[in-house]
């Protein structure tokens, strides 16, 4: 079984679909009566932080978060072995003090599709489109 969960922590976004499909197929083979649900997935994006590179957006940019989140959701929606998906969180939240955080800019978990003030980031619209909520 492939152990790489592409996108945010391991591997490039281009491997997201293949990675989730491999995991879902493995579960279907070993536990055919059990559903496979993708949970706690997605990427971080700092609200208002934008990447100049459209084809390979920078980590922590809204564009990279939009890319990863929409690929995760599209895979879940289009793979018969996947029963559901839950992104990491709805909105960004404070998790620790900025001076003690080594992995979260400003002590904020930026993995929400909404900012701390519940302003939609680019990922919110992209995910809504995949779900069919936005034309």
Q: Any idea what the CATH number is for the domain that residue 41 is in? A: 3.20.20.80
Strand partners, 94: 108
The per-residue pLDDT of the chain, averaged, comes to 90
Residue-wise pLDDT tens digits, 14-63 = 999 999 999 999 999 999 999 999 998 999 999 999 999 988 999 999 99
95 lies in which domain range?
13-131
pLDDT of residue 9: 83
Residue tagged 């499909």 (tokens)? 21
- What is the token pair recorded at 72? 């995760």
In which band, very low, low, confident or very high, does the pLDDT at 3 lie, cut at 50, 70 and 90?
low
What average pLDDT score do residues 111-122 get? 97
Backbone angles phi, psi at 89, to 5 degrees: -160, 160
Backbone angles phi, psi at 109, to 5 degrees: -85, 110
For residue 83, CA distances in Å to 27, 90, 115 come to 11, 20, 28
Asked whether the predicted pLDDT for residue 102 surpasses 70, the reply is no
Residue 3 lies in a domain: no
Enumerate the H helices of 1-135 as residue ranges.
16-30, 62-78, 122-131
Residue 21 lies in a domain: yes
Residue 5 lies in a domain: no
Residue 8 lies in a domain: no
Round to whole Å and give the CA distance between 19 and 84. 16
Residue 63 lies in a domain: yes
What average pLDDT score do residues 98-126 get? 86
Residue 93 lies in a domain: yes
pLDDT-above-70 percentage for the chain: 91
User: What's this model's pTM, rounded to 2 decimal places?
Assistant: 0.90
Residue 7 lies in a domain: no
What average pLDDT score do residues 120-134 get? 94
Residue 1 lies in a domain: no
Round to whole Å and give the CA distance between 10 and 134. 30
Q: How many domains does the structure of the chain reveal?
A: 1
Nearest residue to 121 via CA among 54, 76, 68: 68
């Amino acid at each position: 079984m492939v152990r790489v969960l592409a996108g945010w922590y391991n591997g490039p976004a281009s491997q997201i679909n293949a990675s989730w499909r491999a995991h879902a197929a493995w579960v279907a083979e070993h536990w055919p009566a059990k559903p496979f649900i993708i949970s706690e997935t997605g990427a971080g994006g700092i609200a208002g932080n934008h990447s100049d590179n459209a084809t390979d957006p920078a980590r922590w940019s809204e564009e990279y978060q939009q890319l990863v989140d929409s690929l995760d959701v599209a895979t879940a929606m289009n793979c018969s072995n996947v029963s559901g998906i839950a992104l990491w969180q709805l909105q960004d939240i404070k998790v620790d003090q900025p001076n003690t955080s080594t992995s979260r800019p400003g002590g904020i978990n930026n993995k929400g599709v909404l900012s701390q003030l519940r302003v939609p980031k680019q990922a919110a619209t992209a995910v809504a489109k995949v779900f069919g909520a936005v034309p």
